Chains A and B, each alone.
Chain A
């Protein structure tokens, strides 16, 4: 059964195209990661699916209906942006406010306990640390005993222990049959939790595959050499793209070992060899460039 769906969903803000005909189906009980660099359209897609906005074109569906109808949001849980928590209100008050919107919410004590917030119940949210706010934000998504949750970067900026606790809470929810849509621009977070990854870039779905497949797709290394030649003179196998600064060449490739072998096998003159992993942002830049270039 489809729990959330987007069909040709397009969102335009003035002249800016934030989403460009995105198709996505999230089945009940799935744990899907939505991965993409900042500005890829992740938040826009989530906003459409959770009823915050209407698509400019196309269709979105949540629990079988229009997400803008409150009845279709009764089993939905969403994390607020932790910077947006009402600063003057206490943790317990914010939790009660959210709980009161749902027919059968978790008890306040259970929610506090599950997310390690019991000691903070009397604190005003404005006085919480970044990590505490993040935990509260995630807890709010689970307050109404949801069947589907949308978590936005749930563990970014948390210390290792807090992160593991939260991952455990998400896994537990999923194990009990809950559907999870996780947005992040960190592969690590998605790898830890998701089974399926949807990669968004420039408002389009770039890939929709298993974690392993996507990891292979977006794993890009940077092989840097100093060389007097042009890389275009050699048809280097596995070269995704390159940058040039003077006679310093940066070759971006999914397989650094193979690239180095290629360079040697083809007798490319070089010195100062350096191999580094790229950030996700760089990998996306390289990939979107090459993929759209090849019209994939």
Chain B
């Protein structure tokens, strides 16, 4: 089972990296947002720029996974290779886990520039321990967004998946408080944010990286709930999916 997971991960990673522009593309957007929004506005204030950098990382995690899986899986399902892979003697698990490993690797490539820019051009600081913690938490919070992307990718056709991902990502970012400093969002968002997957994820990230930011149990439990929910939806969607019906 584990070897098969690695095989699936290797296979999709190879496929991804043979088209380097896709990797460059996903690294470009978070880096550009850092340079355009964080460096000029919050770069001089250590706390504000740490907050903002972490928000940007969370935003990139959500964005990358939502699009990579939501749209990527949906596109794959339209390819004639997909029905073939389904005839191989493996269930959903190795494919799922393989995709998740690939997604994590992809995120390293899209997040590394953000971290570099934060270190070089802003006053953002973290202790070495917090940095390691942030990497671990970053991997954890990507799980619900990967599963969310998979749910979309497996339940919707290509064009619908694109629209749904585009409709979801901005409210999720804004509603989760990623585009505003903590405490600086409109009141209803402050109330709502901890219970959205983005808000829960950002709070976990802030907790590891920003000194004195409290651990938010309610938000973490909500995030856990979302993870279980998206997991169930993703597996259900994969099982009922029969690929595209022609061919």
Binding site for B on A (CB under 8 A): 13, 43, 47, 50-54, 70-71, 73-74, 76, 78, 80-81, 83-86, 88-89, 93, 96-98, 100-102, 124, 140, 144
Cβ of B90 within 8 Å of any chain A Cβ, yes or no, is yes
Cβ of B83 and Cβ of A52 under 8 Å apart?
yes
Q: Which of A51, A71, A93, A124 contacts B87 (CB 8 A)?
A: A51
Residues in B with CB closer than 8 Å to A71 are 89
Q: Please, how many angstroms separate the alpha-carbon atoms of A183 and B87 in the complex?
A: 16
Cβ of A84 and Cβ of B80 under 8 Å apart?
yes
Most B Cβ at <10 Å: residue of A80, A100, A144:
A100
Closest residue of A by beta carbon distance from B16: A88
Q: Which of B15, B79, B89, B245 contacts A89 (CB 8 A)?
A: B15
Cβ of A89 and Cβ of B4 under 8 Å apart?
no
Q: Please, how many angstroms separate the alpha-carbon atoms of A110 and B20 in the complex?
A: 33
Q: List 29 A-B contacts (CB under 8 A).
A: A13-B245, A50-B87, A51-B86, A51-B87, A52-B87, A52-B243, A53-B242, A53-B243, A70-B91, A71-B89, A73-B87, A73-B88, A76-B87, A76-B89, A80-B80, A81-B84, A81-B247, A84-B79, A84-B83, A85-B81, A88-B14, A88-B15, A88-B18, A89-B11, A97-B11, A100-B4, A101-B7, A124-B18, A144-B89
Query: Given contacts A43-B247, A84-B80, A101-B4, could you give 5 more A-B pairs where the C-beta distance is less than 8 Å?
Result: A76-B89, A89-B15, A97-B11, A100-B3, A101-B90
Cβ of B242 and Cβ of A98 under 8 Å apart?
no
Closest residue of A by beta carbon distance from B3: A100
Q: Which of B19, B81, B245 contacts A84 (CB 8 A)?
A: B81
Binding site for A on B (CB under 8 A): 3-4, 7, 11, 14-15, 18-19, 79-84, 86-91, 242-243, 245, 247
Which 9 pairs between the two chains have the least Cβ-Cβ distance? A84-B80, A80-B84, A88-B18, A84-B81, A81-B80, A73-B89, A78-B87, A101-B88, A100-B7
Residues in B with CB closer than 8 Å to A54 are 242
Q: Please, how many angstroms separate the alpha-carbon atoms of A80 and B88 in the complex?
A: 11
Closest residue of B by beta carbon distance from A80: B84
A39 to chain B, nearest CB (A): 11
Closest residue of B by beta carbon distance from A18: B245
Residues in A with CB closer than 8 Å to B82 are 84
Residues in B with CB closer than 8 Å to A86 are 11, 15, 81
Q: Which of A43, A70, A88 contacts B90 (CB 8 A)?
A: A70
Q: Please, how many angstroms separate the alpha-carbon atoms of A51 and B239 in the complex?
A: 12
Cβ of B89 and Cβ of A93 under 8 Å apart?
no
Cβ of B14 and Cβ of A93 under 8 Å apart?
yes
A23 to chain B, nearest CB (A): 22
A153 to chain B, nearest CB (A): 13
A108 to chain B, nearest CB (A): 14
Closest residue of A by beta carbon distance from B246: A13
The answer to whether A84 and B84 touch (CB under 8 A), given A43-B247, A101-B4, is yes
Closest residue of A by beta carbon distance from B19: A88
Closest residue of B by beta carbon distance from A137: B84
Most A Cβ at <10 Å: residue of B3, B242, B243:
B242
Residues in B with CB closer than 8 Å to A50 are 87
Residues in A with CB closer than 8 Å to B19 are 88
Residues in B with CB closer than 8 Å to A81 are 80-81, 84, 247
Cβ of B242 and Cβ of A102 under 8 Å apart?
no
Cβ of B88 and Cβ of A52 under 8 Å apart?
no
Residues in A with CB closer than 8 Å to B4 are 100-101
Q: Which of B7, B86, B91, B245 contacts A97 (CB 8 A)?
A: B7
B99 to chain A, nearest CB (A): 14
Q: Please, how many angstroms separate the alpha-carbon atoms of A144 and B90 in the complex?
A: 13
Residues in A with CB closer than 8 Å to B87 are 50-52, 73, 76, 78
A73 to chain B, nearest CB (A): 4
Residues in B with CB closer than 8 Å to A76 are 87, 89
The answer to whether A52 and B242 touch (CB under 8 A), given A70-B90, A88-B15, is yes
Residues in B with CB closer than 8 Å to A101 are 4, 7, 88-90
Q: Please, how many angstroms separate the alpha-carbon atoms of A255 and B217 in the complex?
A: 84
Residues in A with CB closer than 8 Å to B91 are 70
Closest residue of A by beta carbon distance from B91: A70
Closest residue of B by beta carbon distance from A13: B245
Cβ of A98 and Cβ of B88 under 8 Å apart?
yes
Closest residue of A by beta carbon distance from B85: A80
Q: Please, how many angstroms separate the alpha-carbon atoms of A83 and B81 in the complex?
A: 8
B83 to chain A, nearest CB (A): 5
B87 to chain A, nearest CB (A): 4
Q: Which of A78, A93, A96 contacts B84 (CB 8 A)?
A: A78
B145 to chain A, nearest CB (A): 25
